[in-house]
Structure 1
Amino acid sequence: MPPRLFLAAALAVAAVTAGTTAAVAAPGPAAPPTTLNAISSSFADTFADPSIIQGRDGYWYAYATSDPLVAGGPFGLMHMARTKDFGSWEYLGTVFSDATKPSWAAPGSFFWAPDIRYFGGRYVMYFTVTDTLANPGGDPAIGVATAPTPSGPWTTTDGPVVAPKPDGSGGYFGTIDPALLTAADGKRYLYSGGFYGGLSVTELSADGLHSVGEPTQVTIGDRYEGSYAVYRDGWYYLMGSTSNCCAGPTTGYSVFAGRSKSPRGPFVDATGARMDESRVGGTTVITQNGNKWIGPGHHAFITDAAGQDHIVYHAIDRGTPWLTDPFGINRRPMLIDNIDWIDGWPRTRAGLGPSDTPQPAPVTGSAAGINSVDPAAGLWGAIRQAGDSLGGPTASIRGAATTRQAAPGGSVRVEADVKLCNSFTTVLGGSVVATLSGSKISVIVGRRTASATLPADFDRSQWNKLSVQVVGNTVTVRVNDAGLGDLYAEAQLAVPGLKLRSAPVRWLGSAEVDNLTVRAVAEPVRRLAAVPRAGKLLVGDEFDLGLGAGWNWLRQDSNAIVADGKLSWPLENADMVGSGNNAGLLFHDTPAGDSWIAETQLHLELGEGDIRNYQQAGMIAYRNDDDFARLGDVSIWKTRQTEFGRELVARASDGATSYGGAAIGRPAPTMWMRLAYHRNAAGEHVYRAGTSIDGKAWTWGASWVLPAGATPKLGLYAHGDQTGVTPPPVATFDYLRFYESK
């Protein structure tokens, strides 16, 4: 239908509804609800690797890996819970029973990392099977199950959707942690994999139950697991978790992202580094910030009724890291926080990271007088339909319908599950028209039009998600599976000077509608949170005249030489982890005061692509040989990474230590490193790591907290297993400086 006819039809609807009733002003807003992490604490001590979806009954359903929910409890067969407000939760039991779990799984197999989706008229869950009957002993694969409702019953297929992948030496790569994406080409893609082998993407059949063709590797091994992918503004974003998920009080798990114009990659971070290269890239999505939560990762995304994205993830309370005894099962509850899109990249709370204070809850339900679970009650011209197995009553629109109350002006979002008969049009503010007709979706404002083509096999007879959103002068209409970052098509139109007025929302055409929400759009956050900034120089050494005042050695290395304005230090065949406390450390006196920034410039040639475990050099904050945090450029198998690692005594009875690390920034042969120090209200010593590849633009990452008491020493190190390299690489430090922290 031509644009003018759509506008004429919309005006006709306006005339009809104006003749029957006047719009009623919406009631004033109530105090917004809040959440407090961990959101799973009311029903579980641990709820790891969460995924989440909104069911047609209005509940949000969350799923977790098969850890026991409480200390001493039995292992589950993956878990389910649901909420309507993200404040109160109901535990629903396990996904499988012993009778319904996959018949092709080995008896001792675990089931991990569920990924929940909805398409083709049913719920589809992908999950890890750690061991199959085909090769008992450890050949992980990806399973799939379907259900008519989000709480089951779940029926598995008779084999894996992604089979175990042999590594060529008698073992198997880590085919774990699945995540589905439906892309604009109409195809379904499943991402999976882990540190051993890297992440790959596999095309699936239309029903999502079978692999098609050969997988494409999208990240290098030894860096990422816990994949998740979303589409936004023309880009496919691949996210993955890195470092150890489960190192108790030294867990440094974090999430990073890259993006591509293709769901098959290559995925590149904000600095231009690829995620599949040895000097591996990744832009920080979430990392620990020095509060109680460490190791945030293995996440999923949701979008609430106000268009605000949220990250759902697990993390560890550094004060109570174990579900069982030390070095047993980690306590990983479920958390949630806002995602802000800043300069094209997803950042948790604009870069602030995990929250430990009350935060605004996801917006659920509808404004404009609409009950989202019984939408016909808030509409003129809609007929109430009886519910089905997926939810409660729906609204049937045949010809024309309108909200009984006015929608907000300015920025507004209208979203619903829809089952379409033929063309269907949404009108906002009397001037913005979004239509789905034939093979296209379109946005029409005056004489301006933008369209996008739906996939050839798009099934309008099934339930799909339709959203129409106006933010400022930009209108976006999107059709996808279930609102989880996927898409079938998206049309976007920028209209200079557009000012949407408050008016009822109107619909033309034929459709069945459920989960209908009309909401003002959440105010977007467009700037990153403040990061440490270096002020005036307090003290330092440029290595111009040997080691200046304030230096002292622990286990002096005679091979370290100061000459030509540099400290040149061949990497020692030594280490600091566990009982291997034989590496030399060079300390410098720290400034007085409760905050400062230490900085060094390091040059270290670690090559690319070969194994040099674990050559490294950088800065260290040190209490003793079993209690320190070190920031280094490090070789980890075939990758080159920057790692902010932590060791501490995790079991007092025998002094057993735990070590873990948090990745940060982009590695390079020449790097600048900073440790920003402050003392918190509890008197603890907090160090936040920052890196740069040019000394100007800084990437700030994870924080580690050392116990209260005397200020730890700060210094330099250069060590790691040489793995036969002769002569050893030389770490060259240009200076060590201490600045005021602004």
Structure 2
Amino acid sequence: MQSRFVAALATLALGVGTALLSDGGGAEPAAAAPPPPPAPAPGTYTNPVTEPFADTYADPAVIRGKDGWWYLYATSDPLVSGGPFGNMHVARSRDLAAWEYVGTIFDEGDLPAWAAEESFFWAPDIRYVGGQYVMYYTVTDTAANPDPWDYTIGVATAPTPTGPWTDSGGPVLDPRPAPGGGYLNTIDPALLSDDDGTQYLYFGGFNGGIWVTELDETGTRAVGEPTRVTANDRYEGAFVVKRDGWYYLMGSSANCCAGPVTGYSVYTGRSRSPLGPFVDHEGVGLDASRVGGTQVVAQNGNRWIGVGHHAVLTDASGQDWMLYHAIDRDDAWLDEPGGVNRRPTLMDRMDWIDGWPVVNAGAGPSEGPQPAPVAASELGLVSVDPASGGGLRRVAGTLARGTDDAGDAGAVARLVPGRRGPAEVRTAPAPRDVRLEADVRLPEDAGSFTATVGGPGRPGVDVRLDADARELVVTQGHRVRRAALPDGADLTTWHVLTVTADDGAVVARLSSSGLGDADAEVRLPVAGLPRRAPVHLAATGAEAQLDNLTVVAAHDPVTERVAEPRAGAVTFAEDFSGELDAGWAWLHGPADVTLGDGSLAWPLTGHDLVGEANDAPALLRDAPEGDYVLETTVTLPLGEDTVRNYQQAGLLVHAGDDDFLRLSPVSIWQTRQVEFGKELTADGRWWGGHLSGPVADTMHLRLFHTTDPATGEHRFRAASSRDGRNWRPGATWTLPADTDPRIGIYAGGGASPAVTAVFDEVLVRELG
């Protein structure tokens, strides 16, 4: 059954005015309008991509419009220092490298009437559903409730990516009271349209965790009971993609907005169901108290910290990219108004290695010029006007140049079958490893559209979108694979069809938005294809229309991670078998520790170094010269689920009571996490941290110290392990070159319930 979105669109005319006709049946060609220039060939870009027009552009969302532009959306912040708060923003780009500002989503005069006057509008999520653009967004305060901060989700639709936007008239789901008072964080929406036609909305963060709910046919109201898919106190900013039968939930962790100590980062887990449970690469659940998550991107010691709240796009070659915001650690705040972080948008390559997404093969956020995404076609095709420019050569039937009068696609190519059979066109010879992408619609809801790679004929592979059979079919000779289309998939509206011939298989995917969703996907292992062969496109039985057509070489995927730092030979060992080594000294101590049986037992107290008290004991020693690795093994039974704020024990790098780093397992409300935190004094006192994990009662912790050869700056890279063999990389914090930090261990953060940290050893190793 068609959704009400689709049914409403079906009442609109799918008018297509023909500007040029080339007809094997004898029709005369009309004069062609001058085609728009093709998008520039891939070049380079430099982060942040929003620098030309914005100081801050946070919580990015992205989509390619049917007009061929890419559109980038952001939360409601001032674009520049001293500027007004905008009610969510939109920018656009032809090549995914150079972006220009377009405007705001809402003006003050057309805000949703059900939102309170004081409400903010955050974290837009953009999709294309049933022939129109659908935007979900956070409303921080509703007019129906006198309580402030009763967060919920709104939705608006538009015929184009820039509006005009029509709000649905009410929230997608009601504000959710929290058990202890106030409201759960019903924020940060993200839509997933699945191949059975169900629409899922992911939302929430931190206070309450991330949840998922099904939506009704209109996409404007939640139905049924939501399902919590992450721990209560860990993640926000969900984005879900479906790949190889897995649903990958990616979410951001830690404080987004702590200025120069922001440790925000992105983690993921996967599931065979959109409802979870989502687990990381070691099988640890994102919803567990000892919370899991496979790291996708974290700060690496360059200028960028606080890297997170992201969206994912796929370029014309099939390479995935992550867009996310970040903070320049040396320029963290807008000059005016005070208290607003500068969070411009960055973009980096996202690789899939051993079945898991990771940015830049694990290298993290980039600085300096980078190879840009592939956004233009090869083979002389004019992507945004495929019937022009000579890139498509007619073989049979009619190739006509039309105009999308009902939507925003602009110039389109029409393949109209003639009296003697299908309409067929071909490209110039394409690479064997090739990727085709096109917006396709079948306006008569009949017939089929076929793309043939490596042919036609054997060993060519046919990919057929069949309106009559309601399926996507991939065929090579007598070998056939097929997938049924969802009942609500209306082929008279635009869908993104991709065909990738690479690595011994042809993969076809039909998608509503082209953003990790799939209405249907088929994979067929194939025999060898010709080294170079034209791509053939055909319409059979009824007209097919094409737009945004690209045919390019399929990307060469990165399959190995960058090398992680290694721990080498031990240069110092404290095994606590007798008296402490003479190099140790107590800070704010000594603590009430006990030495014996090769361990140091340290009962936790409520003392802490964070903040103004500065009364927590620590055991410190001078750091060695040059590069080194600091390591400890600590046992700290923190239990699960209960609130034990903020018990912890681990490694400390101390340049001063208000300038230090610490790495430890820690209890944060109901979760148990590994925190790599930093406090500094710069225009005040600031504390923030990077969160990772998971934790066990016994944890192995490492800090890899290097020195920037250009600046002398100290860099400390964290890693943690539950077994001492399998290490999880963490984030990198820095300390200034003119500091002389000491290194050691600490314990504290909370005396109730009583618990004792037991350190087995402290090691200093060479950097391997």
TM bin, normalised by shorter chain, reads over 0.9
1:386 matched to 2:418: no
1:285 matched to 2:296: yes
Q: State the shift of 1:650 in Å.
A: 2.6
The answer to whether the 8 Å contact 1:340/1:346 transfers is yes
Q: Show CA shifts across 1:614-636 (max 9, x none).
A: 00011011100000111010000
Distance 1:263 1:730 in 2: 41
1:636 pairs with 661, 664, 668, which one? 668
Aligned residues: 705
Distance 2:110 2:190 in 1: 22
Distance 1:307 1:675 in 2: 36
Identity over aligned pairs, percent: 53
- In structure 1, the partner of 2:572 is 539
Q: Show CA shifts across 1:161-212 (max 9, x none).
A: 1221111444211100000001122100000001111110010123321211
Q: State the shift of 1:499 in Å.
A: 3.8
1:663 matched to 2:668: no
Q: State the shift of 1:515 in Å.
A: 0.5
The answer to whether the 8 Å contact 2:81/2:337 transfers is no
- In structure 1, the partner of 2:436 is 414
Distance 1:424 1:30 in 2: 29
1:506 pairs with 532, 536, 556, which one? 536
- In structure 2, the partner of 1:426 is 451
Look up the equivalent residue of 1:730 and give its one-letter code: T
- The 5 Å alignment of 1:331-350 reads 331-350=342-361
SS class of match (2:497): strand
Distance 2:743 2:692 in 1: 19
When residues 30 and 47 of structure 1 are mapped into structure 2, their CA distance, relative to the original with a 3 A threshold, is closer
The answer to whether the 8 Å contact 2:40/2:95 transfers is no
- In structure 2, the partner of 1:707 is 736
Q: State the shift of 1:349 in Å.
A: 0.3
- The 5 Å alignment of 1:485-564 reads 485-495=516-526, 498-509=528-539, 510-564=543-597
When residues 57 and 306 of structure 1 are mapped into structure 2, their CA distance, relative to the original with a 3 A threshold, is same
Q: Show CA shifts across 1:440-493 (max 9, x none).
A: 212222343322222123211111111100112021000111210001111112
Q: State the shift of 1:591 in Å.
A: 2.2
1:603 matched to 2:635: yes
- The 5 Å alignment of 1:39-50 reads 39-50=49-60
- In structure 1, the partner of 2:88 is 78
SS class of match (1:95): strand
The answer to whether the 8 Å contact 1:472/1:499 transfers is no
- The 5 Å alignment of 1:575-594 reads 575-593=608-626
- In structure 2, the partner of 1:198 is 209
1:454 pairs with 485, 491, 497, which one? 485
- In structure 2, the partner of 1:570 is 603
Look up the equivalent residue of 1:192 and give its one-letter code: F
- In structure 2, the partner of 1:244 is 255
2:514 pairs with 455, 469, 483, which one? 483
The answer to whether the 8 Å contact 1:396/1:512 transfers is yes
1:89 matched to 2:99: yes
SS class of match (2:260): helix
2:331 pairs with 295, 320, 324, which one? 320
Which of 449-458 and 632-641 deviates more?
A: 449-458
Distance 1:558 1:102 in 2: 57
Look up the equivalent residue of 1:408 and give its one-letter code: P
Q: State the shift of 1:276 in Å.
A: 0.8
The answer to whether the 8 Å contact 1:119/1:464 transfers is no
Distance 1:478 1:423 in 2: 15
Look up the equivalent residue of 2:424 and give its one-letter code: A
Look up the equivalent residue of 2:409 and give its one-letter code: G
SS class of match (1:350): helix
The answer to whether the 8 Å contact 1:120/1:207 transfers is no
1:738 matched to 2:764: yes
Look up the equivalent residue of 1:422 and give its one-letter code: G
Which of 554-563 and 289-298 deviates more?
A: 554-563
Look up the equivalent residue of 2:243 and give its one-letter code: R
Q: State the shift of 1:687 in Å.
A: 0.2
- In structure 2, the partner of 1:152 is 163
Distance 2:613 2:490 in 1: 61
The answer to whether the 8 Å contact 1:184/1:489 transfers is yes
The answer to whether the 8 Å contact 1:402/1:504 transfers is no
Distance 1:515 1:525 in 2: 26
The answer to whether the 8 Å contact 1:685/1:711 transfers is no
When residues 103 and 249 of structure 1 are mapped into structure 2, their CA distance, relative to the original with a 3 A threshold, is same
Q: Show CA shifts across 1:582-622 (max 9, x none).
A: 100101332222x1111111111000000011000110111
SS class of match (2:387): helix
Q: Show CA shifts across 1:711-742 (max 9, x none).
A: 311110100023x32xx211111111111112
- In structure 1, the partner of 2:34 is none
The answer to whether the 8 Å contact 2:584/2:620 transfers is yes
- In structure 2, the partner of 1:269 is 280
Distance 1:383 1:465 in 2: 20
The answer to whether the 8 Å contact 1:287/1:296 transfers is yes
Distance 1:296 1:236 in 2: 22
TM-score by length of 2: 0.90
SS class of match (1:455): coil
Runs of 4 or more, structure 1, over 4 Å off, are none
Look up the equivalent residue of 1:459 and give its one-letter code: D
The answer to whether the 8 Å contact 1:324/1:330 transfers is no
Q: Show CA shifts across 1:86-112 (max 9, x none).
A: 332221111001121110000110000
Distance 2:706 2:404 in 1: 57
1:189 matched to 2:220: no
Q: Structure 1: which 5+ residue stretches go unaligned?
A: 1-15, 17-28
1:223 pairs with 215, 234, 243, which one? 234
Q: Show CA shifts across 1:371-412 (max 9, x none).
A: 000011221232111233412210111223223412122x11
Distance 1:71 1:130 in 2: 23
- The 5 Å alignment of 1:59-74 reads 59-74=69-84
1:435 pairs with 427, 439, 464, which one? 464
Q: State the shift of 1:539 in Å.
A: 1.4
- In structure 1, the partner of 2:712 is 683
- In structure 1, the partner of 2:3 is none
Distance 1:295 1:498 in 2: 46
Which of 331-340 and 436-445 deviates more?
A: 436-445
Q: Show CA shifts across 1:5-31 (max 9, x none).
A: xxxxxxxxxxx9xxxxxxxxxxxx997
Distance 2:607 2:85 in 1: 40
1:353 matched to 2:364: yes
Distance 1:302 1:500 in 2: 30
Distance 1:209 1:419 in 2: 25
The answer to whether the 8 Å contact 2:82/2:336 transfers is no
Look up the equivalent residue of 1:397 and give its one-letter code: L
The answer to whether the 8 Å contact 2:48/2:346 transfers is yes
Q: Show CA shifts across 1:392-441 (max 9, x none).
A: 210111223223412122x1110111102422211001112112221321
When residues 443 and 295 of structure 1 are mapped into structure 2, their CA distance, relative to the original with a 3 A threshold, is same
Q: State the shift of 1:643 in Å.
A: 0.6
1:372 pairs with 367, 371, 383, which one? 383
Distance 1:710 1:253 in 2: 25
